[in-house]
Structure 1
Amino acid sequence: MEKYMCYGALGVAAVMFLVFLLDLAIGLFGGGSFMIPDIFGMIASAVVAYLGFNASRDLK
């Protein structure tokens, strides 16, 4: 995996984490009925961020 792909994965994961966090906090996309998918989305974006960070460390 190239460096730019690792940084791209980190960036996308950060944006998605913020979107899910905003949705959970203020009900941005449909109110409080999507609490469980928001939590799983934040977990999934954290996993993607970890994988991107770990891959970038391997390239050094």
Structure 2
Amino acid sequence: MASILLLVLFGADLIMGFAGMQDAAPMQSTSMLMDLAFLIFAGALAYLSFTTYREQR
């Protein structure tokens, strides 16, 4: 659940930064590299969480 929240948060920040809406972005689109890194890490966390959940079922 936390990984989905991170995906939404950093995804919105990245998209709003590209759209030129830095003032409305959740973290004012400070660093595009940081947004991309956290999107990758949150995606990996979501994948690992899903596979662990599937094994426990």
TM-score bin, normalised by smaller chain = 0.7 to 0.9
Per the normalisation by structure 2, the TM-score is 0.77
Instruction: Map 1:36-51; keep pairs closer than 5 Å.
Output: 36-51=33-48
Q: Which runs of 4+ in 1 moved over 4 A?
A: none
Q: Which has the higher helix share?
A: 1
Long gaps (5+) in structure 1:
1-10
Long gaps (5+) in structure 2:
17-21
Letter in 1 for 2:52: A
Counterparts of 2:28 and 2:8, CA distance in 1: 16
After TM superposition, give the deviation of residue 46 of structure 1 in Å: 0.4
After TM superposition, give the deviation of residue 44 of structure 1 in Å: 0.4
